[in-house]
Amino acid sequence: MSEENKKIEDQVWDPASVEILAKAETDCVDTCFSRMDTQKNQCKFGTSGICCRICHMGPCRITKKSPLGVCGANADTIVARNYLREVVGGTAAHSDHGRHLVLRLKKVAEGKGGGYQIKDEMALRRIAKDFKIEEEGRTKEKVALDLANLLLGEFTSQEEKLKTLSLAPLMQQNIWKYHNILPVGIDRLIVEAMHRTHIGVDHDYKNLLMSAFRTSLVDGWGGSRIATLVSDILFGTPSPVRSNANLGVLSEKTPNILVHGHEPELSEMLAVAVNDPEIKEYVKAAGADGVTLSGICCTANEILMRHGIPIAGSFLQQELAVITGAVEMMIIDVQCCMPSLPKVAKSYHTEIVSTTEIAKTIGATHVRFETNDALRSAKELVKRAIDNYKNRDPEKVSIPSANSPLIGGFSVNAIKYMLGGTFRPSFRPLNDAIIADRIKGIVGIVGCTNPKSKVDAYINILTLELIKRNVLVLKTGCAAVSSAKEGMMTPETALEKAGKGLREVCEAIGIPPILHMGSCVDNTRILEAATEIVFEGGLGEGISQVPAVGVAPEWMSEKAIAIGCYFVASGIDVILGYPFHISGSENVTRFLNEETKKLFGGSFHNVPDPHDAVDKIMELLHNKREKLGINKKAERKLFDMKDRREL
């Protein structure tokens, strides 16, 4: 193996990415991996959170010699303020996504849906009931209109607490009430957090951090939850579906269209458009047998969950997908779409198309996606991609063969049906398996990938070691894609690696031990699953008592910080593969990593090594089980250090 390839193998785990990164070097194309190299020695003030540029007396940096900013702010204030602003960024991203979907639901209810419909009436009626909306004997449009108005009120309410909080166990609601962080309207809290981080407002680090948790709650139980609920109504509640993942899903023989970003409105219509008879004719005339649609990032997860459309890759494969030379068009919307894409695309024939007014990129073609005439708009994009097919240069094409089968589509509803059967959907069998110690607990592995360390390595090592130890793993976002690419999301491959108890339970139910639960906003499905476990009984009164842990092994985005916060505020311990930018304040660090445990029942833990993370997780699960009195007496020796796999 060449020196170069060796270096690449230290950067990425999966062979398809290794192959394409080598091609990038041959083609002289920059990627985030080469740029990570040039960004080495990142600013220490930034990484420790003690750079403040909130006003123009600054920027101020805290050092031993200058422990206060010009205004007198100390490290605690600056670190906490920066942290809160990150949580706000993440919450805003998820919530704005949720808002667009509610507005769409409202238009659909009013008969102005622009081609969208209520696909899952049962979900609509189920959700309406949860919010005490009269549904019996009423048309689905009327029910949808009431629900849409109620959910829009979640964004605008000023003094009324969020209604979606009622979906949480009472114990959590009481904890939030006790600590005075019951959130009101989503928009108000986001505005308020920006206000209190302005110069000269909130300087008490604890007060700022409690605001971070309160803000995150409007994400997890508000904006994100709303996004998931409404997506299920409009596009269908996911149920298990087979598909494939990795760059090998791209086709050498047809035009390839990639959807990338987060909002499912566009990708849903593209999924319809590629099968439209008019498009089939059109592509035939261009000399191909069809169009291959696949996805990157969470848009991929959305259309995988509902249509079984394959995943081409996760966040750090967006540039690599273009470098295959086989992509006619990459359609981007919001979040996690790199500004480098048009530059990468210049070396090939790929057209990068941005579609929304709030997300434009220099060098991309901007084609506004008309949601009010969605199918026509989607078909135009597809035709444009087909027109570009003739420009593909076969000399530049190299598609890796990696293409792993997977099963996705595990909504909580689907899991409930699988566990309990069609007539009595229920979480009982899962609770019983946890109580009987066949399953140790559930762990949500979520979040991004990050070129700071070998991509997918932490996620995949951790996942494997956990299922070996009888832990049921729930996955979303790019962390789900890591497992999918590894071929670990089918019962056939994963069950033989699982521990005996977990294997038997999964075999009996017919599920893999690693469940793909969707996109980033679908992290709320993990909260929903934990809530179902509580409601089912026998495993505590609240989420904080359930043997459950969250992990963000290779996270990078503000959204991941918000997710971490709402997990902790909901009582779930969260393991981070990379620390937050808070080390400049001991007080903030102690608050987030220790004191929150007393407040909520869960806290953050920095664990940079996946094997150490396994140990920590097993310890946390053990402790929760101990409190529930469901540990076997002889079970003190928890972890097995053998067969560590090197990074």
Of positions 412, 433, 448, 543, contacts ligand XCC by CB under 6 A: 448
Contact call for residue 485 and ligand XCC (CB under 6 A):
no
Q: Does position 305 bind ligand XCC by CB under 6 A?
A: no
Q: What is the DSSP string of 510-579?
A: T--SEEE--SSTTHHHHHHHHHHHHHHSSS-SSGGGSSEEEEETT--SHHHHHHHHHHHHTT-EEEESS-
Of these partners, ligand XCC, ligand SF4, none, which one is at the site of residue 199 (CB under 5 to 8 Å by kind)? ligand SF4
Q: Which amino acid is at 606?
A: N
From the CB of 202, what's the least distance to ligand SF4, in Å? 12
Which residues are 475's β-sheet partners? 445, 516
Q: What phi and psi values does residue 208 have, to the nearest 5 degrees? A: -65, -40
Q: Please answer whether residues 90 and 562 qualify as being in contact, where contact means their C-beta atoms are separated by less than 8 angstroms.
A: yes
Residue 519's CB is within 10 A of a number of other CB atoms, namely 28
The three-point CA angle 275-280-282 to 5° equals: 135
Give the residue with the Cβ less far from ligand SF4, 57 or 122.
57
Closest to ligand XCC by CB, 132 vs 452, is 452
Pairing of strands 329-332, 351-354: parallel
Q: Does 60 bind ligand SF4 (CB under 6 A)?
A: yes
- Site membership for ligand SF4, residue 199 (CB under 6 A): yes
Decide whether 125 or 475 has the Cβ nearer to ligand XCC. Answer: 475
* Residues in 318-337 that interact with ligand XCC by CB under 6 A: 336
> Toward ligand XCC, which CB reaches closer, 345 or 561?
561
Per rule CB under 6 A, is residue 447 in the interface with ligand XCC? Answer: yes
Q: For strands 365-366 and 351-354, give the pairing.
A: parallel
The site for ligand XCC, by CB under 6 A, has a size of: 14
Nearer to ligand SF4, 205 or 578 (CB): 205
Tell whether residue 71 is a contact of ligand SF4 (CB under 6 A). Answer: yes
Judged by CB under 6 A, the number of residues near ligand SF4 is: 14
Our finding on whether 309 is near ligand SF4 (CB under 6 A) is: no
> Which of 349, 344, 352 shows the shortest CA–CA distance to 395?
349
Taking alpha carbons only, the member of 68, 78, 47, 46 closest to residue 197 is 78
Member of 113, 310, 477, 564 binding ligand XCC (CB under 6 A)? 477
Smallest separation, CB 485 to ligand XCC (Å): 13
Q: Give the separation between CA 123 and CA 127, rounded to whole angstroms.
A: 6
Strands 51-52 and 60-61: antiparallel
User: Nearest distance from residue 300's CB to ligand XCC, in Å?
Assistant: 9
| Euclidean distance between CA atoms 606 and 498, whole angstroms | 26
Dist CA 74 CA 50 (whole Å): 9
- Which CB atom, from 336 or from 620, has the smaller least distance to ligand XCC? 336
- Tokens in use for 627? 């409190």
Find the binder of ligand XCC among 190, 257, 330, 520 (CB under 6 A): 520
Of 20, 50, 52, 607, the residue at the interface with ligand SF4 (CB under 6 A) is 52
Least separation in angstroms between residue 59's CB and ligand SF4 is: 6
Measure the CA dihedral 214/217/218/222, to 10°.
Answer: -160
**Tokens standing for residue 158:** 């000023």
Positions 527 through 566 that interact with ligand XCC (CB under 6 A): 557, 559-560
The burial of 134, by beta-carbon neighbours within 10 Å (0-12 exposed, 13-18 middle, 19 or more buried), is given as exposed
Choice between 447 and 571, CB closer to ligand XCC? 447
Closer to ligand XCC at the Cβ: 118 or 320?
320
Q: Which stretch binds ligand SF4 (CB under 6 A): 15-23, 64-72, 518-526, 564-572?
A: 64-72
Out of 54, 266, 374, 385, the only residue in the binding site for ligand SF4 (CB under 6 A) is 54
Q: Which residues bind ligand XCC (CB under 6 A)?
A: 262, 297-298, 315, 336, 447-448, 477-478, 519-520, 557, 559-560
